[in-house]
A and B are shown apart, each in its own frame.
Chain A
Amino acid sequence: MALLEVKNAGIQFGGLKAVSGFNMRLNQGELAGLIGPNGAGKTTSFNLLTGVYVPTEGEILFNGKRLNGLPPYKVTQSGISRTFQNIRLFSELSVLDNVKVAYHSLAKNSILSSIFRLPSHFSEEKNMEEKALEFLKIFNLERFKDEKAKNLPYGQQRRLEIARALAAGPKLLLLDEPAAGMNPQETHELMELIAFIREQFDLTILLIEHDMQLVMGICERIYVLDHGQLIAEGTPEEIRSHPKVIEAYLGEEVSNEHA
């Protein structure tokens, strides 16, 4: 059974179809890429998968469970977590606390236990702190742990977002342009890190990326969106030579000239 199955999903804003007829099957452990020109509907698809938008058509199944209409926090609790294209850290919180927040829904102590400082509060807090530090270590962010998130350099902020998403305990991790704004060296390190966490945490990963070389190098399967429609899917080799993909990326100017 596929981990994630998207059947004909789509969304309309007013009369505009932002995404329609979106189909996808991700198997456990797969690393897939979602590409497409600007405005193709990539981030919108992520928003559909994570419950930010409720699909107006089709259905989304995760682990055999229907996700349509679940609010984002429930989607996350059921095992999908994400990063954002425009970084959305908790900027006034420390780096460590940013990761701790993601661990929130996995902790069990009640509000009263925190207010009255019962033993369960201390044990959960300690556990959270240890887990959060582990994630920071993996991402080499340990030395920044007491720094406010907003004071981190840009590349480190992107890494922190991934660490935070990972701390929420996902089975499926959605990365929205994780390497945006990074230099080649940082990008390379990031890609190795992504491969590492996939092994380590037995993850399935779907990532949006503009850097073609990177997507082709790391992803086993690629989905191509254009104008809200899925126009191709397949292995990197298949995608590279797919006529519709070439047209979508190169043909725009050509067809515009004819119009």
Chain B
Amino acid sequence: MDWLQQLINGISLGSIYALIALGYTMVYGIIKLINFAHGDVFMVGAFIGFYAIKGWGLSFLPALIISMAFCAVFGVLIERIAYKRLRNATRIAALITAIGMSLLIEYGMIYIRGAQPEAYPADVLPNKAINFLGVHINSQSLFILLTSIILMIILQFIVQRTKMGKAMRAVSLDMDAARLMGISVDKTISFTFAIGSALAGAAGVVFGVYYTKIEPLMGVIPGLKAFVAAVLGGIGSIPGAMVGGIFLGVIESIVSAAGFSLWRDAAAFVILILILIFRPSGIFGKNTREKV
């Protein structure tokens, strides 16, 4: 019986989705934009981590930090260049711009370095089978889970306990009121992009270490699935993104384990549509309706 290993796999995969979903959910919560380019920040993060490990011979932790820092800057750049002008644009214009940015990053990356994949070295993290109650558990899964949990705790601390976190919450509740209270809305939005992108960068490195293969279009599917996770948890809700991501990862492992691994990618979209139809506000979301 490897059900426990399957469950752990699901949770590890889910924690990667959760890390990406956090960026989606924070950005949506604050400027109501589905940042399609977010999955590509994840891809860029994976490549930065790869170059740091393979090129400079760094170990996991410094590579993770470098990738997060780079992605934070990258995310803020995307926001400043493309999204900032869209504050008063229609939703359709904003969504199309985000799709455009996503494709620009993907194909820009292919243009710069080609479409060929790279492989993370296999020994970045100790890869041993740990015997637990008679079941074998991969030690890498545990490391990944641990990394994700620590990052989420740090995020929770930033959002709940720091001044910038308070500003983020205020801006997402009511941008105009926050501005009147003297909060710099622009700075807060940039900060949100920085945090979200750093988490996506971390997810990229973790993904690379776990699945080894990375390529310029790797962000598309995990990006979409992370968005599904964010919707599942209730878009705009930070705990929702965590729970939604892990839930989705576990569902996918169950679908794979049940012998439908080719349908695995469809599972996320089926869940998405069911959620949108039956509970569009997600697990932790609040219902809102247009005022007449």
Contact = CB atoms under 8 A, between A and B. Distances in A.
Interface string B264-292: 00000000000000000000000000001
Interface string A220-258: 000000000000000000000000000000000000000
Contacts, number: 4
A84 interface: yes
A109 interface: no
- Per DSSP, chain B at the interface is loop
A52 interface: yes
| Interface size range of chain B in the complex | under 10
A94 interface: no
Contacts of A47: 292
B90 to A, nearest CB: 12
Nearest to A44: B292
Nearest to A53: B292
A47 B292 CA distance: 8
A84 B292 CA distance: 8
B77 to A, nearest CB: 35
A94 to B, nearest CB: 21
Contacts of A78: none
Nearest to B290: A52
A49 B292 CA distance: 13
Contacts of A43: 292
A43 B291 CA distance: 10
A187 B292 CA distance: 24
A11 B292 CA distance: 15
B268 to A, nearest CB: 32
A17 B292 CA distance: 17
A45 to B, nearest CB: 12
Contacts of B292: 43, 47, 52, 84
A52 B291 CA distance: 10
A46 to B, nearest CB: 9
A16 B292 CA distance: 17
Interface in B224-255: none
Interface string A51-74: 010000000000000000000000
A89 to B, nearest CB: 15
A76 to B, nearest CB: 14
B249 to A, nearest CB: 33
B291 to A, nearest CB: 9
Contacts of A84: 292
B93 to A, nearest CB: 15
A43 B292 CA distance: 8
Contacts of A52: 292
A44 to B, nearest CB: 9
A239 to B, nearest CB: 27
B290 to A, nearest CB: 10
B128 to A, nearest CB: 53
A246 B292 CA distance: 29
Interface in B153-212: none
A196 B292 CA distance: 28
A16 to B, nearest CB: 14
Interface string B89-114: 00000000000000000000000000
Nearest to A14: B287
A139 to B, nearest CB: 24
B198 to A, nearest CB: 37
A73 to B, nearest CB: 14
Interface in A72-92: 84
Nearest to A43: B292
B144 to A, nearest CB: 41
B197 to A, nearest CB: 36
B9 to A, nearest CB: 41
Interface in A26-49: 43, 47
Nearest to A46: B292
Interface in A117-171: none
A225 to B, nearest CB: 17
B199 to A, nearest CB: 33
B285 to A, nearest CB: 15
Interface string B50-79: 000000000000000000000000000000
A52 B292 CA distance: 8
A55 B210 CA distance: 54
Nearest to B287: A14
B224 to A, nearest CB: 33
A77 B292 CA distance: 20
A47 B289 CA distance: 14
A235 to B, nearest CB: 30
A51 to B, nearest CB: 11
A15 to B, nearest CB: 14
Interface in B110-165: none
A48 to B, nearest CB: 11
4 contacts: A43-B292, A47-B292, A52-B292, A84-B292
Question: Nearest 4 A-B pairs (CB), nearest first?
Answer: A52-B292, A47-B292, A84-B292, A43-B292
Interface of A: 43, 47, 52, 84
